[in-house]
Amino acid sequence: MTQETGGFAALDLNPNIVAAVVATGYEEPSAIQQQSIPIILAGHDMIGQAQTGTGKTAAFALPVLNRIDVSKREPQALILAPTRELALQVATAFETYAKQMPGVNVVAVYGGAPMGPQLKAIRNGAQIVVATPGRLCDHLRRDEKVLSTVKFLVLDEADEMLKLGFMDDLEVIFAAIPETRQTVLFSATLPSSIRSIAERHLRDPKHVKIQTKTQTVTAIEQSHLMVHADQKIPAVLRLLEVEEFDALIAFVRTKQATLDLASALEAKGYKAAALNGDIAQNQRERVIESLKDGRLDIVVATDVAARGLDVPRITHVFNVDMPYDPESYVHRIGRTGRAGREGRALLLVTPRERRMLQLIERVTGQKVTEARLPGPQAVLDARIKKLTTSLAPLVAEAEASHGELLDRLTADLGCSPRALASALLRKATNGQALSLESVEREQPLVPTGAPRERTERSGERSERSGGDRERRAPMPLGEGRVRCRTALGARDGIAAKNLLGAILNEGGLARDAIGRIQVRDSFSLVELPEEGLERLLSKLKDTRVAGKQLKLRRYRED
């Protein structure tokens, strides 16, 4: 047994699972993993009280995988999660840990996606089903025996499920799976409703409780930037224009992403290199040494490839891709702020990743402030400052060393020294935009707070045909309600009564449960009850109004 695999191997897990875990960069099991894995492997029901970010996904995923019978192509493990985002995250974790277990299939079941492929994947023998309760109940109404072979049930973030109004759905699911199953329940808190579920559906459960220590990184200035997923590289390039850094490490999730971003940086003149699992050890060492001695300024790395990387001159960490959990985030940004120096950490967040940002703030106990992309004036000032800095050392001796050449060139060209200096500057800056007007003409980045179709570019006509009507602020929310948005509006022939009728008919709500409906030119806002919202939106996913899909989603007000 190697020292590297000793921690997880000591838990009596399948060596293939241990190898997959170690490949992700984890060396030692966390407290919740050390306590939970033996209990689950022994077949006991369990209640785990732990916050997200303590490693609880692996705490149930690893022992469940260990007990999967790969020869049986039928659902064996059911993991319930409160939201689509968490279901996808958990499914991805299972796939990662099962990489060296041929024959293990995982399916994520959630609202907002076609039901047919999901049900087909279950019937075709996916041994692990990760689902949100509302969508799973939809499948049970089509096939009540689809879960009859389940041996393991995990309720992840059970308290959040109850907050979202899934109690009735949970009871339906409990009734649809065998009573002889092993049940594991994880929850950050244990209110009476959770204890009631445990008393009714768990058999003599073992209890595990982890007190999370607040992780602090006080020497590091943390901020986040909201971006669209396909605009990450342009956003990084824009940010680097104004950031003053010594050395920087940018974290991404995939090997290909390291190559793509490193190439984009090199094309802009930065001394950058990729670091991923395909890089040979001797080359990896050369990259790190180059970062230490200044031959490289930026390294783009995956979590695994950056393991053990300790370079004191790193002043900035860019989380270009969201880490899988808060622990990984803390580990990443700890690469800067070393030896009492201040550091800066920036996290790029896509609209679907807002929840993980909130979890990071909760686990670290620190606010990750919102940053803004630098505007044209800031970019221009930064470019001129860099140019000034590069020319300053040359000015003192330039006339003495090149004065005669200047005289000859101006005579040969028949131009003034000012015209020649301007031409040489243009050549030296390689056509870079160095006037406010030219910087403003560069391809703009779309802020996530505005739909793409509304972005106005220079010389283009605004598509906001409603003018001020489109821009006015939404009305205050009613108590206990949340605001939802649909891309259907007045230009689609939609009136408030159309939306009201569709929601009442398809959602099964009482009239007084629906609040204000605001119809704008290119979209509409509807107030709906917060309790059970995800289940309601799942019911409405296929609803059509005026021949078009309603596609209601929760509206995030920035």
Residue 151 sits in a domain whose CATH number is 3.40.50.300
In this prediction, residues 273-292 reach a mean pLDDT of 85
Q: What does the alpha-carbon distance between residue 409 and residue 415 come to, in Å, rounded to a whole number?
A: 8
Closest CA to 119 of 93, 95, 89, 141: 141
DSSP reduced 3-state for 129: strand
Same domain, 494 and 537: yes
**Structural domain includes residue 510:** yes
- Domain check: are 201 and 237 in the same one? no
pLDDT for the residue 466: 38
Residue 66, pLDDT above cutoff 60 = yes
pLDDT at 30: 82
- Whether 177 maps to a domain, the answer reads yes
Q: What is the mean pLDDT of residues 93-98?
A: 92
From 357, 376, 395, give the residue that closes a domain.
376
Same domain, 182 and 263: no
pLDDT in tens, 465-488: 333 334 444 556 767 888 999 988
What proportion of the chain, given as a percentage, has pLDDT over 90?
A: 30
Which residues are CB-contacts of 195 (< 8 A; sequence separation ≥ 6)?
Answer: none
What are all long-range contacts of 333-341, with beta carbons under 8 Å and residues at least 24 apart?
333/217, 333/220, 333/222, 334/217, 334/220, 335/249, 335/306, 335/309, 335/310, 335/311, 336/220, 336/249, 337/217, 337/219, 337/220, 338/310, 338/312, 338/314, 339/312, 340/219, 341/219, 341/312, 341/315
**Is 79 domain-assigned?**
yes
Q: What is the percentage of the chain residues whose pLDDT exceeds 70?
A: 86
Do 142 and 33 lie in a common domain?
A: yes
Mean pLDDT of the chain, nearest integer? 82
Q: Assess whether 26 and 174 both reside in one domain.
A: yes
Tokens 């049970």: give the residue. 140
**268 found inside a domain:** yes
Instruction: Please give the sequence-ordered ranges of beta strands (E in DSSP) within 134-177, or none if there are none.
Output: 152-155
Q: Is residue 277 part of a domain?
A: yes
Kindly give, in sequence order, each residue whose CB lies less than 8 Å from that of residue 312, ignoring residues fewer than 6 positions away. Answer: 338, 339, 341
| Out of 135-144, 225-234, 359-368, 459-468, least confident range | 459-468
What is the full DSSP assignment across 45-57?
-EEEE--TTSSHH
The yes-or-no verdict on residue 43 having pLDDT over 90 is yes
Task: For residues 441-455, give the mean pLDDT.
Answer: 48
- Output the CA torsion sign for 455, 461, 464, 469: positive
Any bridge partners for residue 223, and if so which?
346, 369
Is 181 in the same domain as 38? yes
- For residue 459, pLDDT beyond 60: no
Chain segment 190-226, per-residue pLDDT in tens: 888 888 899 999 999 999 988 655 455 666 889 999 9
Q: What is the per-residue pLDDT across 285-329, written as a single tens digit (0 to 9) for each?
A: 889 889 989 999 999 998 777 766 778 889 999 999 998 777 778
Range with the poorest average pLDDT among 162-171, 227-236, 418-427, 446-455: 446-455
For residues 52 and 366, what is the distance between their CA atoms, to the nearest angstrom? 15
pLDDT the model gives residue 403: 76
Last residue in a domain, options 347, 376, 405: 376
Q: Is the pLDDT of residue 547 over 80?
A: no
Same domain membership, residue 97 and residue 170: yes
Last residue of a domain, one of 376, 404, 439: 376
In a domain, 173, yes or no: yes
* For residues 541-554, average pLDDT: 83
Whether residues 496 and 371 share a domain: the answer is: no
CATH number of the domain at 538, please: 3.30.70.330
CB atoms within 10 A of CB 510: 9
**Which one, of 209, 250, 206, lies nearest residue 232 by Cα?**
250
pLDDT band for position 404 (cuts 50, 70, 90): confident
19 to 5, 98, 477: CA distances (angstroms): 7, 10, 51
Which segment of 235-244, 376-385, 428-437, 442-451 scores lowest on mean pLDDT? 442-451
Contact criterion met (CB below 8 Å) for 522 and 489? yes
Give a yes or no: residue 285 inside a domain. Answer: yes
**62 shares its domain with 194:** yes
34 and 172 in a single domain? The answer is yes
The listed range with the strongest mean pLDDT (272-286, 287-301, 435-449) is: 287-301
CB–CB of 282/354 below 8 Å? no
Task: Give 457's pLDDT tier (boundaries 50, 70, 90).
Answer: very low
Q: What is the pLDDT of residue 440?
A: 65
User: Is the domain of 202 the same as that of 230?
Assistant: no
Structure tokens at 292: 């230490």
139 lies in a domain?
Answer: yes
* pLDDT (average), residues 527-547: 85
pLDDT of 384 strictly over 80: no
Residue 152 has pLDDT above 70, yes or no: yes
Quote the domain boundaries for residue 524. 473-554
Output the pLDDT for position 71. Answer: 92
Dist CA 29 CA 3 (whole Å) = 13
What was the pLDDT predicted at 442? Answer: 64
> What tens digit of pLDDT does each residue of 67-88 get?
999 999 999 999 999 888 788 8
Closest CA to 252 of 322, 180, 197, 311: 322
3-state secondary structure of 103: coil
Q: Is the pLDDT of residue 363 over 80?
A: no
Helices (H), 315-364: 326-333, 354-364
Structurally, how many domains does the chain consist of?
3
Q: Is the pLDDT of residue 458 over 60?
A: no
492 in the same domain as 546: yes
pLDDT grade for 339, boundaries at 50, 70 and 90: low
pLDDT of res. 223:
93
Beta bridge partners of 152: 77, 182
